[in-house]
Chain A
Amino acid sequence: MEPINSIPCLEKAMCKCSEELNAKVKGLNGKRAIVVCGGTGCLANHSEDLEAELKRLVKEYGLEDKVTVNHVGCFGLCSQGPFIKIFPEETLYRAVQVKDAETIVKEDLVGHRIVEDLLYVDPITKMRIAKQEDIPFYKKQVRVALHGCSLINPSLVEEYLGCGGFKGLKRALTELTPQQVIDEVTNSGLRGRGGGGFLTGRKWQFAANVEADQKYIVCNGDEGDPGAFMDCSILEGTPFSVIEGMMIAGYAFGASEGYFYVRAEYPTAVKRLTEAIKDLEEAGILGDHVLGTDFSFRVHLRLGAGAFVCGEETALLNSIEGKRGMPRPRPPFPAVKGLWGKPTCVNNVETLATVPYILREGWEKFASMGTEKSKGTKVFALGGKINNVGLVEVPMGTTLRTLIYDIGGGIPGGKAFKAIQTGGPSGGCLTAADLDTPIDYDALVAKGSMMGSGGAIVMDEDNCMVNVAHFYMNFICDESCGKCTVCRIGTKRLYEMLTDVVEGRGTEQTLEDMKAIASVLKDGALCALGQTAANPILSTMANFPEEYLAHVKDKKCPAHACKKLVSFTIDPEKCKKCSLCARNCPVSAIHGVPGKEPYVIDQSKCIKCGACLSGCRFDAIHKE
């Protein structure tokens, strides 16, 4: 594209690009447009091959002048992927496999007939739904941080400009002083989306107040919560918005250099971000004298190397500096002394992706959404035992019930909802009694959990909460950096104690000892990783005390999830003596005589793998 080196150039480009995007979506250019989901979830399900196949078929059927094909960011309803959408009709097809491409081309593109089999089916009414907006999953969502995601081509700056991109930056540079930008963000009530919940505007103010020859803005894309993919999806689907947010931040508090720190586990996000930075440099939007103003800004990208603790801001700064990613004591806070000793603000991906919206639409509009102290929207990655696994963005104040049932579609297989874990390894679980709690930083803390970065894992009656706490403790123990003794040794001891509990060696005293260590961790650890490490244990203990007691007193796991505490037995009455279980058993622990004697499991040999149970066709094997 032509260089955009002045404000008038940008205005002209915005005008042209929004006309073009509008024409593409409404078919005013005489073409139909197919967009294919290019999010990580759908890519794992071969959407890249699907895109290539669609392109090949469009060529084969001679439709090149009439149809365009490109990928876009995440559609959100990942469990039904891969998705494609055809404009201008806006027909949404789901679970599209490579083999379906020809049907779509023949039926829809050539024949103008909707392929009914590939439409979303409402699980309750069984009706087929052709349009995205009519699917219940989307009805209560509002896309602010995800604005443009699944609509625009994440590799084309033109399409970002076409959907309002860089309007926020333009307003900041032409209409507002740096202080007014900070005030705008402060007034909007935007709080850090990485989980801390600190007022973003106030953070910027701290950095603005420090005099320095060099300041930095750092984007924290080290999304470590296992099972969370919000930041990944934002970077993949709309990388330009995060860069725009970073530039606005840089203008506001006087940083001319921005650093992205992104998990190396996100190859697609890294690729799209790298391309986006290069495109903006070439267009003249990034570099010296941005858009012909006095503001200069450069962006650099650094990759993580698989350390959860680097999501902690001071550890992250050490990692960028090429050191072991261990946290620094605070104060001094990064806003005073951060990257290479210079004033630095570390903001999360979603926070920065939200900033352009605030500047574009005005703080009042942003602040009109949400609750008194939690404004705007929040992106969640819904996962675990829920029908609609995926990426959702809802206004703050939405209840957990709406999130889980109206949007998430409830629990699969008719099972009962047990808990939702928010905040990952630093958070806690919320139970059926908390379902009407509004999503709000302070309300979630009051209930013993936290907002976290947006990971929301749903558990059903088959999940053992002690086992889940054990899982998190194993994770934290692995990821503790070892710098402070309290965390290094405390998490290890907690893990050992929990192992005792899930393996039947724990006593009521073990539970008391765990609580004591938990309180030392909270008070004594250097960084948030250690201070919050015991949260999953404390919150499951508070909400499910009877499960812990069953493990230590009765040596039973009520959910039958803790291997060492379950046993498999064969009901001699129901056993048809078919010998299948004995043949399935990997350790030859099952004996009997085919057709004559019922089979019996030798408990001393049994490794509790469950192969016998899942293989038995006569429901003769029980787990207890």
Chain B
Amino acid sequence: MKIKSEVAADVRKICASYANEPSPLMMVLSAIQKKYGYIPLEVQEVVSQEMNIPVAEIYGVVTFYGFFSLNPKGKYVVNVCLGTACYVKNSQTLLDKVCEVLEVKPGETTEDGLFTVDAVRCIGACALAPAMMINGQVYPRLTPAQIPEIIDSYRKKEEA
């Protein structure tokens, strides 16, 4: 796969914008992840040339941190909180239900590219446990029975 020349140019621009910072690799990768949603190998190669860091080292960093992804994520990222406060209130059953409804495993994306399911560690909404977050929107004090309806509401939004 080749990346578009404008993407490469943009990645170079991102690298340049951090040029005055000491050791800015993490900042550059965070900015790319935020903007494009993933950091494929081809993009890492551009970063490697710009920053003069071996691509193997960059790949090592990208695969080390949970926030960086090699593959694109779905339009809606369903984050089920598996922090301790949610876990002791049965959030595992929420995750199981989401996976059942979307027919994927945690970390996977649905075939239509609409949903990615992730188990996350604490979204800071412990008082609302067990909780789930879809693209920043928090769903508080859930039971598995509420899951299909919530997922459906996003599907309907897409169809509309």
Contact = CB atoms under 8 A, between A and B. Distances in A.
B122 A227 contact: yes
Contacts of B138: 44-45
Interface stretch (A64-72, A145-153, A382-390): A382-390
A421 interface: yes
Contacts of B7: none
Interface stretch (B70-78, B81-89, B152-160): B81-89
A232 B24 contact: no
Contact of B85 (A227, A326, A340): A227
Contacts of B10: none
A302 B26 contact: yes
Interface in B74-105: 82-89, 93, 96, 100
A432 interface: no
A498 interface: no
A385 B88 contact: yes
A324 interface: yes
Contacts of A265: 120, 122-124
Nearest to B64: A324
B84 A322 contact: no
A226 B128 contact: no
Nearest to B138: A44
**Most chain-A Cβ atoms within 10 A of its Cβ — which of B65, B120, B131, B138?**
B65
Contacts of A224: 121
Contacts of B89: 384-385
Nearest to B23: A322
A305 B126 contact: no
A497 interface: no
Interface string B122-160: 111111110100000010100111000000000000000
B43 interface: no
**Most chain-A Cβ atoms within 10 A of its Cβ — which of B65, B85, B138?**
B85
A45 B140 contact: yes
Contacts of B122: 225-229, 265
Given A306-B66, A468-B88, A383 B26 contact: no
Contacts of B21: 300
A507 to B, nearest CB: 25
Contact of A305 (B24, B30, B128, B140): B30
Interface in A288-310: 300, 302-308
Contact of B30 (A303, A320, A381, A385): A303
Contacts of B27: 302-303, 322
B115 to A, nearest CB: 19
Nearest to A610: B93
A185 B145 CA distance: 53
A258 B61 CA distance: 24
Contact of B129 (A45, A228, A383, A475): A383
A128 to B, nearest CB: 21
Given A306-B65, A307-B65, A609-B96, A229 B88 contact: no
B125 A384 contact: no
Contacts of A227: 83-86, 122, 126
**Most chain-B Cβ atoms within 10 A of its Cβ — which of A79, A322, A472?**
A322
A232 B83 CA distance: 15
A215 to B, nearest CB: 15
Contacts of A73: none
A324 B83 contact: no
A107 interface: no
B38 to A, nearest CB: 13
Given A227-B122, A227-B126, A421 B65 contact: no
Interface stretch (A160-168, A174-182, A455-463, A542-550): A455-463
Contacts of B128: 41, 44-45
Nearest to B81: A226
B65 A325 contact: yes
Contacts of A300: 21
B117 interface: no
A81 interface: yes
B26 A322 contact: yes
Interface string A412-446: 00000000010010000000000000000000000
A153 B60 CA distance: 41
A226 B83 contact: yes
Nearest to B28: A322
B25 interface: yes
Nearest to A383: B85
Nearest to B82: A226
A323 B22 CA distance: 12
Given A226-B82, A227-B83, A324 B61 contact: yes
A206 to B, nearest CB: 23
Contacts of A44: 123-125, 128, 131, 138, 140
Contacts of A609: 93, 96, 144
Given A305-B30, A324-B60, A383-B129, A264 B84 contact: no
B68 A305 contact: yes
B140 A457 contact: no
B124 A320 contact: no
Contacts of A305: 26, 29-30, 33, 65-68
Given A44-B128, A229-B122, A265-B124, A421 B100 contact: no
A265 B33 CA distance: 14
Interface string A310-348: 000000000111111110000000000000100000000
A78 interface: yes
B67 A264 contact: yes
Interface in A53-80: 78-79
B123 to A, nearest CB: 7
B70 to A, nearest CB: 14
A30 interface: no
Contacts of B26: 302-303, 305, 319-320, 322
B128 to A, nearest CB: 6
Nearest to A320: B23
B126 A41 contact: yes
B121 A475 contact: yes
Nearest to A233: B124
Contacts of A611: 144-145
A40 interface: yes
Q: Which 10 A-B pairs have the closest CB atoms?
A: A306-B66, A383-B85, A322-B25, A78-B127, A226-B83, A305-B65, A227-B84, A44-B138, A227-B85, A322-B23
Interface of B: 21-27, 29-30, 33, 60-61, 64-68, 82-89, 93, 96, 100, 120-129, 131, 138, 140, 143-145
Given A45-B140, A322-B26, 20 more contacts: A41-B127, A225-B84, A225-B122, A226-B84, A226-B85, A226-B87, A229-B122, A302-B26, A302-B27, A304-B65, A305-B65, A305-B67, A319-B26, A323-B61, A324-B64, A381-B126, A384-B84, A389-B129, A455-B84, A611-B144
15 contacts: A44-B124, A44-B128, A44-B131, A79-B127, A228-B122, A229-B124, A264-B67, A265-B123, A300-B21, A322-B23, A326-B64, A383-B85, A389-B126, A390-B127, A468-B88
